[in-house]
Amino acid sequence: MSKVAIILTVCSFLIVGCADRVVEYQSDSSGHVHYVGTFTKEESWKRIVESTIDREKAGERPDGGFATWQQDWQNWYANIRHTQKMIFKSDDLKTPEDMVTYMKQRRIARGLPPYE
């Protein structure tokens, strides 16, 4: 997922607010934006986790000015833990710590260190 797609997804979380669905778009190499699909907030968040892992495995640099992927992930974990309220309703992920655990499990499943 490109940076533009991530930004559009995050913006849709903000715009939609209480809505249960997120509309996701992605830009192609020419800069054209295309509809990807409509997802629940949980599905969209999990897609962002997977695309971030994809980018790391592809050797891309992390976003946000971080020098390493470890710093990027640890910052993401800290931000999630700082949030007291879940950004979506889930049958599996009940707390921010559950979200961090999910991220670490996905990293391990994809052959990457979990980073504490």
Separation CA 2–CA 20 (nearest Å) = 23
* Cα separation, 71 vs 10, whole angstroms: 20
How many CB atoms are located within 10 Å of the residue 47 CB?
19
Indicate the domain borders of the chain: 3-109
User: pLDDT-based confidence at 18, cuts 50/70/90?
Assistant: low
Share of the chain above pLDDT 70, in %: 84
**Helical segments of the chain, H only:** 3-16, 41-57, 69-82, 96-109
> Taking the model in full, what pTM does it have?
0.79
Q: What's the CA gap between 22 and 9, in Å, rounded? A: 7
pLDDT at 16 over 50: no
pLDDT per position as a tens digit, 27-78? 999 999 999 999 999 999 999 999 999 999 999 999 889 999 999 999 999 9
